């Protein structure tokens, strides 16, 4: 929050894949803190501060999920940290500095925001469902999304596009009825998936929709949304 007026920006894989000096500084701060207390743990972080580790535990870190929103003020962004035992996420935190909200979950113990328990919506009608959309903004993925929306959008209530971690957190909080994610990476979704699951969401890879398509939704809406997204594939 302190650095938003002095950000230095570069690109990575393509013109829409942005990284700022704040992304790098945030990652370094988190990695240094983890390594100081748990030096044997592995680390997988978006900006490359990876370590194999020896303990069987791994921290999955997205130091700034939603860099373009952070830079422009056009939408929400967050800091995401997940702790995995092997490949199973046990603890998760998604912090939204702009809103002052911290979503968290411990496997088997539910999910909270600001200490209050989270729970998914009770919406049952597909044509009333608000679906959050998250995807890698590369040209090939944007073309996939254009084709997907031709089938999905007419069958639901409406869409909102937000970064993946908050997309899942909003499902957990009952703000969205579902989250649809395409071509995301583990650091984008690891923390949010646990939070959404612990709040009662069902998470699926969507059969027939092509690679790297994830859907998180309520049990009531799941069959209809799976059908829509699968048909689009």
Q: Which domains, and CATH codes, for the chain?
A: 4-117 (3.30.540.10), 126-232 (3.40.190.80)
Cβ atoms of residues 202 and 218 within 8 Å? yes
Element (H, E) at 58: strand 57-65
Burial class (CB in 10 A: 0-12, 13-18, 19+), 17: middle
**Cα–Cα distance between 182 and 203 in angstroms, integer?**
13
Cβ atoms within 10 Å, residue 45: 21
Q: What's the rounded mean pLDDT across residues 21-47?
A: 96
204 contacts: CB under 8 Å, gap ≥ 6:
214, 215, 216, 222, 226
Instruction: Report pLDDT digits (tens) over 53-87.
Output: 999 999 999 999 999 999 999 999 999 999 999 99
In sequence order, the 6+-apart residues with CB closer than 8 A to the CB of 129 are 123, 156, 157, 177, 178, 217, 221, 225
CA atoms of 102 and 18, how far apart (whole Å): 24
Share of the chain above pLDDT 70, in %: 99
User: From CA 223, how far away is CA 227, in angstroms rounded?
Assistant: 6
| C-alpha–C-alpha distance, residues 171 and 30, integer Å | 26
Contact 153, 145 (CB under 8 A): no
Residue-averaged pLDDT of the chain: 94
Please tell me the predicted confidence (pLDDT) of residue 211: 65
Residue 94 pLDDT exceeds 80:
yes
Tokens standing for 146?
Answer: 């254009």
d(CA 47, CA 57): 19
Which pLDDT score, from 0 to 100, does residue 215 have? 96
| Separation CA 68–CA 9 (nearest Å) | 10
What are the pLDDT digits (tens) for 192-226? Answer: 999 999 999 999 999 877 668 999 999 999 999 99
pLDDT at 13: 80
């Amino acid at each position: 929050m302190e650095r938003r007026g002095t950000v230095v920006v570069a690109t990575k894989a393509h013109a829409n894949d942005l990284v700022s000096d704040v992304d790098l500084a945030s990652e370094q701060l988190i990695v240094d803190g983890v390594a100081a207390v748990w030096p044997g743990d592995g680390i997988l972080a978006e900006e490359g501060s990876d370590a194999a580790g020896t303990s069987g535990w791994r921290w999955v870190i997205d130091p700034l999920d939603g860099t373009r929103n952070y830079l422009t003020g056009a939408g929400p962004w967050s800091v995401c940290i997940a702790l995995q035992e092997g490949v199973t996420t046990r603890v998760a935190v998604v912090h939204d500095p702009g809103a002052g909200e911290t979503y968290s979950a411990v496997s088997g113990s539910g999910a909270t925001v600001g200490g209050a328990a989270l729970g998914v919506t009770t919406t049952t009608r597909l044509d009333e469902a608000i679906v959050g959309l998250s995807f890698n903004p590369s040209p090939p993925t944007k073309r996939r999304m254009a084709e997907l929306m031709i089938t999905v959008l007419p069958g639901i209530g409406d869409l909102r596009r937000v970064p993946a971690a908050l997309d899942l957190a909003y499902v957990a909080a009952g703000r969205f009825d579902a989250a649809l994610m395409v071509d995301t990476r583990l650091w984008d979704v690891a923390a949010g998936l646990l939070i959404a699951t612990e709040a009662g969401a069902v998470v699926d890879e969507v059969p027939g929709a092509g690679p790297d398509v994830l859907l998180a939704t309520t049990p009531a809406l799941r069959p209809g949304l799976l059908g829509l997204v699968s048909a689009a594939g």
